[in-house]
Amino acid sequence: MSVKKEFNYDVVVVGAGNAALCAAIASSESVSDILVLEKGPKHKRGGNSYFTDGAIRFAFNGLDDLREIIPGITDEEARKINMPPYPIDKYHNDLMEATGGKSKPELAEHLVSQSYETIKWMYKNKVDFDLIYDNQSFKKDGVYHFWGGLPVKTRGRGVGLIEQLNKRAEELDIEVWYESPAVQINKDSNEVSSIVVNTYGENVTVQTNSVILACGSFEANKKLRTEKLGENWANTVARGTEYNTGDGLSMAFEVGAQPYGEWSGAHAIGTDANAPSVGDFTKPGDIFKKHSYPLGIMINKDGHRFVDEGADFRNYTYAKYGREILNQPDQIAYQIYDKQVRPMLRDEYDRKEATCYKADTIEELAAQLDVNKKQFVRTIEQYNNAVQDAPYEPSEKDGKGTEGIPLPKSNWALMIEKSPFYAFPVTCGITFCFGGLKANKYGEVLDKNDKPIHGLYAAGEMIGGIFYENYPGGSGLMSGAVFGKTAGTSAGKYVKDNFF
């Protein structure tokens, strides 16, 4: 390796998304010379965070807590809001239930307990938030009833979050190098001493006593996806940045870091069957996802349903149902709706990018689709006959389900009977992989003896052991912020205490 030039920084952050920028900002509270490394060009900065819808899950005790970070909510507006509290124990239980109790206790407790404090810290650092009226509430008798413990998003979604974090970083004189992937971490004994960076094609050595790895997992690396997740993941849509290829993981392993977490698992959702193979930075935001399936049913190409669409709020099922779609014939399924629920679908169904088939009868709809047409019609007939006569309430788990069919729909089961009828084809889109590095609640990366590698920290998707099989919606963005802030604080303190 040819290495030229030398630079000196107190802390180097690898990555430039939500977790990385939170880490850089937190580091600046202790030290002054901070460098952020972005693998992509400036117009493609922000990692997966750029593509998020911005929903961020944190614990809160009621609307008053939310008004602290959304002061624009007026008294008049507040009177029209029904906001159930989402306490720490509820968040913790939701996380543990979603992960089958596998989430590492130390990390789970830290994520949950620090979530609201981190949100307030982000607001202090000029990140703005809004209520999610459109997708997380239903209006009834003039009152907005929020549900699912996820009422808040970052203003401007992921694009706005990245813009605001970068603006704050600029105010704090945090330096960012674009088109500058890190390629090697150097140690002296068991302490980080420098990092090699390829900046605009030239290798340079950056002297530093602390490196924070926050550059995503390996979801955009086809070779690693197939090796770790399985052959059927080879052509999965990578919903976010093309630059999350596992570089940080490889560098960490080379200096003795311990792999950890569910390396065969990933966050995967149902996304438009015609979505691009990687995230399109010219069409920012999470525009291709299809998350209203609890209001309808999903049918594969053989004409069969394959999941309980109403098992729970979409916040608790969408991150695993993408994997179920992946396991269907040709990795395709169709979300089916009728006129009754069409106005209730999320806004992504109204975008020009949404692939949609529409017909006046179920038979005519089937004729347009690449499905076993007879079985498709039969499945809908059997489903309709199984729907129970009970009150329909989309803002809560209403228990309006089916009886007498092998695969039930547990909630929100309405007959698909009013024309026109709609079909939205979906495939599997991978967001991030659950396998990562072993780290403690301070963000310190641990070696194979569970000892910290001094000066090496991790945040965001880099940390394994938090999510297994599934996760509560909005927890990924929150985890990135919590552990980004934590790692930044730890790194800054480590450098200040030991090298000043």
Separation between Cα atoms, residue 439 and residue 258, nearest integer Å:
9
Confidence band for 478, pLDDT divided at 50, 70 and 90 = very high
What is the topology classification, in CATH, of domain 268-429? Flavocytochrome C3; Chain A, domain 1 (3.90.700)
Q: What is the pLDDT confidence band of residue 1, given thresholds at 50, 70 and 90?
A: low
- pLDDT at residue number 428: 97
Please say if the pLDDT value at position 406 is more than 70: yes
DSSP, collapsed to helix, strand or coil, labels residue 34 as: strand
CB atoms within 10 A of CB 449: 7
Mean pLDDT value of segment 324-341: 97
Using CA atoms, how far apart are residues 103 and 228, in angstroms rounded to an integer? 20
The pLDDT, as a whole number, for residue 116 is 98
- For residue 312, count other CB atoms closer than 10 A to its CB: 18
Contact indicator for 390, 411 with CB cutoff of 8 Å: no
pTM over 0.85: yes
Confidence grade of residue 255 (pLDDT, cut at 50, 70, 90)? very high
Residue 218 has, within 13 A of its CA and on its CB side, a CA count of 26
Share of the chain above pLDDT 90, in %: 93
User: How do residues 39-84 score in pLDDT, each as one tens digit?
Assistant: 999 999 999 999 999 999 999 999 999 999 999 999 999 999 999 9
How would residue 286 be classed by pLDDT, with cut points 50, 70 and 90?
Answer: confident
pLDDT attached to residue 315: 86
Pairing of strands 152-154, 143-146: unpaired
What's the chain's average pLDDT? 96
The ranges of the chain annotated as CATH 3.50.50.60 are 4-217+434-499
Q: Does domain 4-217+434-499 have CATH number 3.50.50.60?
A: yes
Strands 11-14 and 129-131: unpaired
The per-residue pLDDT for 4 is 59
In three-state secondary structure terms, 367 is: helix
Judged against a pLDDT cut of 70, whether residue 3 lies above it is answered with no
How much of the chain exceeds pLDDT 70, in percent?
99
Q: Is 227 left (phi over 0), alpha (psi -120 to 50) or beta?
A: alpha
Q: Express each pLDDT in 194-213 by its tens digit.
A: 999 999 889 999 999 999 99
Provide mean pLDDT across the span 254-278. Answer: 96
Domain with CATH 3.90.700.10 in the chain: 268-429
